[in-house]
Amino acid sequence: MSMWQQLLTDIRNSDYKALARSISLVENEVPGYLDFLASLTPGKASITGITGPPGAGKSTLTDALIGEWTAKGKKVGVLCIDPSSPFHLGALLGDRIRMSNWYTDPKVYIRSLATRGSLGGLHPHILEISSLMQAAGFDEIIIETVGVGQSEIEIAGLADTTLVVVVPEAGDEVQTMKAGLMEIADIFVVNKSDRPDADQFVRNLRSMLAPTFQQDNREVSVLKTVASAKEGIAELAEAIAQHQQLHRVSDRKYWLLAERAFRIIQERRMKDIPKSELLAQLVTAAKEPDFNLFSFINRYQSEK
């Protein structure tokens, strides 16, 4: 039995070590990984995406949802998308520290992924890795993003349900919230709702969302939680379950998946252009007094 076949068997048996190794092999694009991915058995796990501005309590909310689901006997997989340096590409790993209580729980698997400079804000192999997670037999999968750039939009292409987490004092932020966030949210979670003016904030948020409801002919729930005290978590888990029963697929999801497929095909066609070679030639060309990036690209492509 080949290494890949053994990994497939182990993943189907919920072997977390095999899952961790498989993710690393896919991240590093080890030869054979494409056929390996094509052999994966589709999983039935629902994917919940969690995004929102820094400081809203996304990791605490994730921790609380893990507790809610595992208490019901569910197996939970978590992908934490950490910001990373464009130079060394390492994850900050803050989420893993905050969720360290779950590392010895056999029903929970947590993996931090660096964005690796991905312009979208998610990991460049997030689609492949989430498929690996689904094949591992989890009941619930959470993908928590850094909540910057285009990551909020991309998460909607992966998640069955997208949570946008905000806090009551974010009133001014919500007033100027970009349309993308308003459009991708399936559930708005007003966390830290024990703070003053939380009820007023919820009313304002619902009134802001009303035009979106009418335009898209859909309803977006607004729920209050105090994740640090586990308040409102059972209600949130129920709202997620209800949404996933009613809205498993959508035109928006298909469109965003097509965007991801296009990007993956594009990246694979670029494999024969080593970045080290490109960098070396660019360093030489950039020293020319009349250097023009687009001229350099055209010349580089014609040489290929």
> Which residues lie below 8 Å from residue 17, measured CB to CB, with a gap of 6+?
10
Q: What CATH number corresponds to the domain at position 166? A: 3.40.50.300
Report the alpha-carbon distance of residue 103 to residue 16 in Å, rounded: 11
> Do 149 and 288 share a domain, yes or no?
no
For the ranges 125-129, 182-186, 253-257, the lowest mean pLDDT is seen at 253-257
pLDDT at 86: 42
> Do 30 and 86 share a domain, yes or no?
no
pLDDT at 44: 82
> Do 28 and 58 share a domain, yes or no?
no
**In the chain, beta strands by DSSP E:** 46-51, 76-82, 108-114, 140-144, 161-166, 187-190, 221-224
> Do 158 and 204 share a domain, yes or no?
yes
pLDDT at 259: 72
> Which residues lie below 8 Å from residue 278, measured CB to CB, with a gap of 6+?
300
If DSSP codes are grouped into helix, strand and coil, which group holds residue 198?
Answer: helix
* Closest of 40, 41, 32, 61 to residue 49, by C-alpha: 61
Please indicate whether residue 207 or residue 151 has the higher confidence score (pLDDT).
207
For residues 165 and 51, is the Cβ–Cβ distance under 8 A? yes
For the ranges 68-72, 158-162, 175-179, 259-263, the lowest mean pLDDT is seen at 175-179
For residues 42 and 135, is the Cβ–Cβ distance under 8 A? yes
pLDDT of 104 over the 50 cut: yes
For residues 171 and 204, is the Cβ–Cβ distance under 8 A? yes
> Which residues lie below 8 Å from residue 44, measured CB to CB, with a gap of 6+?
134
> Do 52 and 141 share a domain, yes or no?
yes
Percentage above 70 pLDDT, the chain: 77
Domain containing residue 283: 275-303
Confidence of residue 119 (pLDDT cuts 50, 70, 90): very low
> Do 201 and 282 share a domain, yes or no?
no
Establish if 192 belongs to a structural domain.
yes
Establish if 90 belongs to a structural domain.
yes
Establish if 268 belongs to a structural domain.
no
If DSSP codes are grouped into helix, strand and coil, which group holds residue 81?
Answer: strand
pLDDT at 219: 76
Confidence of residue 209 (pLDDT cuts 50, 70, 90): confident
Tell me the pLDDT of the chain averaged across its residues.
81
pLDDT at 170: 62
Establish if 136 belongs to a structural domain.
yes
Residue 69 amino acid letter: W
Confidence of residue 290 (pLDDT cuts 50, 70, 90): confident
pLDDT at 255: 72
Establish if 269 belongs to a structural domain.
no
Establish if 255 belongs to a structural domain.
yes
pLDDT of 136 over the 80 cut: yes
Confidence of residue 189 (pLDDT cuts 50, 70, 90): very high
Q: Domain tally for the chain?
A: 3
> Do 53 and 191 share a domain, yes or no?
yes
> Do 93 and 199 share a domain, yes or no?
yes
> Do 170 and 286 share a domain, yes or no?
no
Establish if 151 belongs to a structural domain.
yes
For residues 82 and 146, is the Cβ–Cβ distance under 8 A? yes
> Do 32 and 52 share a domain, yes or no?
no
Report the alpha-carbon distance of residue 299 to residue 304 in Å, rounded: 9
Percentage above 90 pLDDT, the chain: 35
pLDDT digits (tens, 9 = 90+) for 212-269: 555 566 678 899 999 999 999 999 999 999 998 876 666 666 776 777 678 778 877 7
> Do 186 and 256 share a domain, yes or no?
yes
Establish if 270 belongs to a structural domain.
no
> Do 21 and 108 share a domain, yes or no?
no
pLDDT digits (tens, 9 = 90+) for 44-102: 888 999 988 878 889 899 999 999 999 999 999 999 887 654 443 444 445 445 566 78
